[in-house]
Amino acid sequence: MYIITGSKGEGLSNFLESDVDIMYVNNRVFCLEDDVKSSAFPGEITVLRSLSRRSYHGHCRLLLERRGTTIIRQVDDAFCDDGYGRELLSSDLFVNNWSKVKNWEGIVQHERAGPSIPTTELGNLHRDKVHALHYYCPNILSTWAARPRHWPPTEVVKYVVSLGAFLTPVGLKGSEYQHVEWRVCFNAGEIELISNLNDTQTKLYVLLKMIKNDVLHPRKKEVSSYTLKNIVLWMAENNPQASFHKKSILQWLHEALDALRVALITLELPYYMIPERNLMATSGLDEEQQRTWISTITDMLNEGPRVILRLPKIRQCIVAHPEPFRWYNGRRIEVEMLTLMGQNRNEICTDENGEVDDTDAIVQALNRLIHEVIMDVCDRMIMEGSRVINTQAIFDRILM
């Protein structure tokens, strides 16, 4: 199985605006908390036991409890001895094994980045692939579910618990066991949580991401979208939902920026799902960058509502003439929808060699509709005096 994670999974970015983060989960391997029995799993399943002692919060090592009858090579070749005759699954070897898998023609694979294997397809489709494992951890999830909260509602909490957890192949930076450690994550549950934010909370999250990209400009993810997401989730949990309304968004933006400033000053931000894990512990933030960002955010807090004028997209919305702005935005949404429909259809029409059947009537119809919209945009741009290079450039620009 695979899960689209990150901003694409949350539905908060344009088609080509950022990389597509994909998490592939092996259904033949299950990892269990210390006191969970493995007898319920059939013989073809490989069972691993988490060993969280002497690992940082939210991380663990994996001991082999039972090798399944259908174990895949990328997993089987990643075991190493723990020094006591037991087999540990190495996160480092696991990623390296997957990075050696041959890609389809036209896909360029880049240097490994932590747990992910970045690729580029067709020159502009960037994907970050992470191979992960199922993690059955009822104790961690029940602890999260039992917290007193304003949000999310009980039925959403239960559903998030039912979605379970995963282990991604990355250890804590600087840890003695980094090469064999795995990080606990809740991608499916967090996507569900984001989808249950109200309109003001979602817009707050988007504004914070814009500030990160357009004002802070982090070089090495010292502050990431994940950092900002956790700030928003904590704010949603700890405050009455009625206080998040459309007239209060600038007030909450001020609160969120202040929370970010405190995190930068103290280098502490609890992970929403496992508060004992500090998200700032491995941020890699140097003192100069820390001082600069604290100063910048302090200035932004002092600006009050005018702070949003720092964001290019917001300024564009304010100064643009409403009619053409709405028209171009409508064409963008139309192209996005047709492109996503085309991707879904391509999956159905793709053979075992990765070749798409271009003769499929629906594929041809979708391509024709996209071309018609792009030509419509080109014609209007020419009428308005813009220089049109080619239709592919217009297509790429629309989806960015």
pLDDT (tens, 9 = 90+) of the chain, 400 residues, equals 889 898 888 888 776 677 889 999 999 999 999 778 888 888 899 999 998 877 899 999 999 999 999 899 999 999 999 888 899 999 999 999 999 998 887 889 999 888 999 999 877 788 899 999 999 999 999 999 999 999 999 999 999 999 999 999 999 988 888 999 999 999 999 999 999 999 999 999 999 999 999 999 998 889 999 999 999 999 999 999 999 999 999 999 999 999 999 999 999 999 999 999 999 998 889 999 999 999 999 999 999 888 888 898 888 777 667 777 788 888 888 888 888 888 888 878 887 776 778 888 998 899 899 989 988 888 888 888 777 667 887 887 777 7
Position 175, amino acid: S
What pLDDT is stored for residue 14 in this prediction?
73
Helical H segments across 73-224, by residue range: 73-76, 91-99, 138-145, 154-163, 187-195, 199-211
Q: Burial, 25: exposed, middle or buried (Cβ in 10 Å; 0-12, 13-18, 19+)?
A: buried
Angle at 200 between CA 196 and CA 201, to 5 degrees: 50
Residue 16: the pLDDT is 66
Q: How far is CA 79 from CA 8, 48, 55, 179, in A?
A: 33, 11, 18, 12
Quote the CA–CA distance of 155 and 352 in Å, as a whole number.
40
CA distance 15 to 106: 20
- Residue 142 falls in which region: left (phi positive, over 0), alpha (psi -120 to 50) or beta: alpha
**Quick check: 226 and 193 in contact, CB under 8 A?**
no
CA distance 235 to 150: 10
In this structure, are residues 40 and 23 in contact, taking their beta carbons and an 8 Å threshold?
no
Six-digit token string for 101: 């898998």
Which residue in this structure is represented by tokens 């898998």? 101
From CA 206, how far away is CA 212, in angstroms rounded? 10
Dihedrals phi, psi of 277, to nearest 5 degrees: -85, 125
Q: What percent of the chain has pLDDT over 90?
A: 60
| Nearest alpha carbon to residue 353 among 178, 184, 102 | 102
CB-based burial of residue 15 (10 Å sphere; 0-12 exposed, 13-18 middle, 19+ buried)? buried
For residue 379, give every residue at least 6 positions away whose Cβ sits within 8 Å of its Cβ, in sequence order, or none. Answer: none
Q: What are the tokens at 372?
A: 């018609």
Tens of pLDDT, residue by residue over 106-135, are 889 999 888 999 999 877 788 899 999 999
Instruction: Give backbone dihedrals phi and psi of 262, rounded to 5 degrees, phi first.
Output: -60, -40
pTM of this prediction exceeds 0.95: no
d(C-alpha 140, C-alpha 344), whole Å = 35
pLDDT in tens, 220-247: 889 999 999 999 999 999 999 999 999 9
For position 309, what pLDDT does the model report? 86
